[in-house]
Every structure is written in structure tokens, then in C-alpha cells.
Amino acid sequence: MALVPVMAMNLRTALDDEVTITDASPTGGGGAISREFKKEPQRTEDDGRSCYQCDGSFDQEGRYPCPADCGVALCSLECIWNRAGACRRKHFPCPRFGERFAGTARLTKEVARVGIEVQAPFDLTFGNDFFSPEGKARLQELEQDPLLEAEHWAPDCKLFSRARGRPITLRSGQTIRGLYSLYGISFTS
């Protein structure tokens, strides 16, 4: 019964700027007109020309909407993470995405660009060494996040190779240092 009006509606009709309602009863009647929609609760007005967090301009990577949908635009992942405590809708539960061992975290940036909250990526390039006790504790902390809904694991095979830290000889004959020797970390096979 509740869907009967939908059967007779034209769902492709444009939305009218003015909405009117009327009601009649044995004791009287009434009517109302609305010419604007109510703003969503706890939304912030933003000019959209600069980052709401740091006032910086948007680069070629684009803009990131606040994951709590408060209406502001941010310029980077760092600004998203710094804004989390100051957002008017900070208690609004947002599902999170986590990326593990993915280098530059390009997927994290793309996910954040569509307005999904992201964890800080877990990777050596972000200061997370999986082989240290601190790194393992940080990974466990990220994994136990109650709002973590999706994650992507993309370990570089060199991270777990027995040859990590050993010199690599290129086809040209040039020898370069192994992956972990660039970070000053030595491992024994």
C-alpha cells in the first residue's frame, strides 16, 4: 500500500524549487510552502577554492572530500588525518580502508578522493618496518580498528625475499645496493 503512489509517479520529472502541502480536517485546514531545502545537519559551508584544513591550494591530484561528509574539501591525506578531530561530524562512524605494503599508496589516495575514510598506509616508505616490534604492533593496531571495512595487501616480493639487502646487478653490469641497504638496515640470511 505504501508504494502505490510511486506506481503513478514520474520519477524522471525535475525537482520543483517550491513545495506546497495542504491538509483539511473537520475542525479546520492548513497549508505550507517551502522554497528551500533544509541544510544537512552539522555541515560546514566551504568556498571550495582552497583546503579547509591548511588553506593551501589544490594540486593536480585534486581534492579530497571530508570522509564524514561535513561539506569541506581537503588537499591531501595529511589534511584528512589532521582534520579528523576537528570535524563537526567527528562522531559520525565512517567505514575505513587500509592499505598494506603498497609503496606510494596510490590506491589509498584514490579511495580517499571519493570520500571514504582511509587509514595511514602501512609501508616502509611511511616509516613502518614490519620486522621491528614497533612495526608489528602498529600493524596489529591498524588491523584491530573496529571501523576497518576493507583492506588491500600488496607486498612487494622483495620485502620478504632472502636476497633483501644484497647488491643487485643490472643487465648493463651496473651494481646497485639492495632494497634494505638503502635504509641502513642489515639482515642476515
Q: Would you report the helix, strand and coil content of the chain in percent, each value rounded to 5? A: 20, 20, 60
Residue position matching grid coordinates 608489528: 136
Torsion sign over Cα 126, 131, 132, 134: positive
Report DSSP state, residue 167.
Answer: -
CA dihedral over 49, 53, 59, 62, signed as positive or negative: negative
**Would you state the cell numbers that stand for residue 9, as one nine-digit string?**
509517479
Whether the Cβ atoms of residue 52 and residue 73 lie closer than 8 Å to each other: yes
Nearest to 97 by CA among 73, 79, 113: 113
The C-alpha atoms of residue 180 and residue 158 are separated, in whole angstroms, by 9
Q: How confident is the model at residue 184, as a pLDDT?
A: 40
Per-residue pLDDT of the chain (189 residues), as tens digits, is: 888 877 777 777 777 778 888 888 777 788 888 877 666 666 667 766 788 888 887 776 678 888 877 878 888 888 888 876 777 777 777 788 999 887 778 888 888 888 888 998 898 878 888 888 998 999 999 999 988 888 888 765 555 556 666 776 777 887 766 655 334 444 433
Q: What is the pTM of this model?
A: 0.54
Let me know the angle formed at the C-alpha of 66 by 62 and 129, rounded to the nearest 5 degrees.
80
Report yes or no: 20 and 31 within 8 Å, Cβ to Cβ.
yes
Q: Cα separation of 15 and 42, whole Å?
A: 24
Contacts of 141 (CB under 8 A, 6+ apart): none
pLDDT of residue 165: 63
